[in-house]
Amino acid sequence: MSDKSFLAWPFFEDRHRVLAKDVERWSAANLPVAHGDVDAACRELVMKLGRDGWLDHSAIDPASPGNLDVRTLCLIRETLARYDGLADFAFAMQGLGAGAISLFGTGEQRLWLRRTRAGKAIAAFALSEPKSGSDVANMEMTATRDGDRYILDGEKTWISNGGIADFYVVFARTGEAPGAKGISAFLVPADLKGFSIAERIDVIAPHPLARIKFSNARIPGSAMIGAPGDGFKIAMSVLDVFRSTVGAAALGFARRALDESLARVRTRELFGAPMSELQMVQAQIAEMAVDVDAAALLVYRAAWTKDMGVPRVTREAAMAKLFATDRAQDVIDKAVQLHGGDGVRQGRIMERLYREIRALRIYEGASEVQKVVIARQMLAGG
C-alpha cells in the first residue's frame, strides 16, 4: 500500500481526497493492460478512461468552460503511473494534445473536446521538429497564408500519439516576426489531404510515437488557435499546465519503486536476517523516501499555485518537473539495486520502471531547459 499521508497536505481540498481514492480503486481494477500492441493498448486505454469519466478532467467542458484543475491532473497521473506507465501516457496525451484548445480554442474548435473527453477522439501535440526540439522559436515548418486558407509544409517529430491521433495541434511559422513571435497554432484533423506519417519511432518504453509530414496541406483560416503570431506563447502556456503533471507521473513511478523495495527488503533474507536490518539498505530506503516526499512537495506546490489562479507558474512547474524526474530516476535505480538480479529481469516491474522513467527527463522540456527557465526567472527577480 502506497503512502497516502501527502493527501492531508493543505494543497488539497476534500474533493481531491475523494478523487484520489476513486482513481486508486479504478486503477487497481483495470491496470495494467497488456502492452504487446501499443497502438491497440492506447486506443483501449483512451476508450476506457473516457468511458469511466477520467478524461473529463483532462480538457475543459465546452458546455460550461472553467479551468483545468492541475492538482486533479497530477493526482490522476501519479496514480496511473504507479500502476501502468502506458495508462498514464494515454491520459496525459489527451490533455496535452487538447491543451491549446482547452485554453485558447474558439467555440467551434472546442467541440473537439467533447470527443477527447469521451475517449472518442485521440489528441496529439506537435511542436518539436527534426532541427528544433528545445529551441522552439527556431522551428522551420511553415503555414503560408493563401486567401482564407493556410498551406502547411514541413515536418514534426517525436510526436506522441503520432499514427493513432484523430487530430494534431500543430505549431508552424506564419512569419509575423522572426523567432518566437512569428509562430501560430493550428488544429489539424488527421484525415487532412497532404498530411502523412513519415516514420513510426520505437523507444525503450514503447508508446505510439511518430515523425509526421505536411506537404501542401491546406486548412481553413478557422483552424488557427488564438491569433496569428501567438503560437509560441500558446505552446508555453500549455506546457505551464502540463509540465507539473510530468513531475507527477515521475512521482508515481518513484512511489511504485519505493513500495516494491519496501516489500522486498522486509521479506528477503540476507546474511541470516531480513535485508531491512542492514543499515546500508536503510540508508537507501531513507534517501528514496526523502526524494519522493520532496518531489511531491514541489509537484503539488506547482499544481496548487496554478489552481490558485496565478497566470504563469513557469518557475514552479519547471522546478517540479526537473526535480521529480531527476530524483525518480535515482529512486528507481536504487530500487533496481535492492532487487538484485530480479531488478533487471525482462518483464518484471523494476525493469519496466527503469525503462519508463528515462524519457521524462527529455520530453516536454529537457532537464537542461528547465534549468534555463528557472535561472532566467531567478535572475530577472521573478
d(CA 194, CA 96): 24
Q: Which of 49, 136, 281, 299 binds ligand COS (CB under 6 A)?
A: 136
Q: Which of 344, 372, 375, 378 binds ligand COS (CB under 6 A)?
A: 372
Least spacing, CB of residue 311 vs ligand COS, in Å: 8
Contacting range for ligand COS; rule: CB under 6 A; set: 34-42, 129-137, 163-171, 211-219: 129-137
Contacting range for ligand COS; rule: CB under 6 A; set: 39-47, 61-69, 131-139, 252-260: 131-139
> For ligand COS, which is the closer residue by CB, 53 or 179?
179
- According to DSSP H, which parts of 31-178 are helical? 38-51, 70-83, 85-104, 107-118
Contacts with ligand COS, 291-320, as mask; x by CB under 6 A: ---------------------x-x------
Please name the amino acid found at residue 379.
L
Contacts of 283 (CB under 8 A, 6+ apart): none
> For ligand COS, which is the closer residue by CB, 151 or 366?
366
* Closest to 62 in 3D by CA, of 15, 19, 16, 115: 115
Least spacing, CB of residue 283 vs ligand COS, in Å: 35
> For ligand COS, which is the closer residue by CB, 31 or 159?
159
Active site residue 364: yes
Q: Which of residues 164-183 bind ligand COS (CB under 6 A)?
A: 180
Three-state helix/strand/coil letters over 120-149: CCCEEEECCECCECCCHHHCCCEEEEECCE
* Closest to 113 in 3D by CA, of 92, 93, 127, 99: 99
Beta strands 273-274 and 269-270, pairing class: antiparallel
Least spacing, CB of residue 110 vs ligand COS, in Å: 21
> For ligand COS, which is the closer residue by CB, 133 or 343?
133
- 304 burial via Cβ count (<10 Å: 0-12, 13-18, 19+): buried
Beta strands 167-173 and 149-160, pairing class: unpaired
Q: What angle do CA 229, 161, 133 make, to 5 degrees?
A: 50
> For ligand COS, which is the closer residue by CB, 93 or 350?
93
Contacts with ligand COS, 217-246, as mask; x by CB under 6 A: ---------------xx--xx-xx------
- For position 124 contacting ligand COS by CB under 6 A, the verdict is no
Residue 208 has φ and ψ, to the nearest 5°, of: -60, 125
Least spacing, CB of residue 127 vs ligand COS, in Å: 4
Give me the catalytic one of 13, 108, 364, 368: 364
Least spacing, CB of residue 124 vs ligand COS, in Å: 10
Least spacing, CB of residue 309 vs ligand COS, in Å: 15
> For ligand COS, which is the closer residue by CB, 16 or 321?
321
d(CA 185, CA 173): 9
Contacting range for ligand COS; rule: CB under 6 A; set: 36-44, 109-117, 135-143, 284-292: 135-143
Least spacing, CB of residue 307 vs ligand COS, in Å: 16
d(CA 227, CA 234): 10
DSSP code string of 335-357 = HHHHTGGGGG-TTSHHHHHHHHH
Contacts with ligand COS, 351-370, as mask; x by CB under 6 A: ------------xxx---x-
Number of CB atoms found within 10 A of residue 72's CB: 22
> For ligand COS, which is the closer residue by CB, 27 or 314?
314
Number of CB atoms found within 10 A of residue 177's CB: 10
25 DSSP 8-state letter:
H
Q: What residues line the site for ligand COS (CB under 6 A)?
A: 127-128, 134-137, 180, 232-233, 236-237, 239-240, 312, 314, 363-365, 369, 372-373
Active site residues: 364
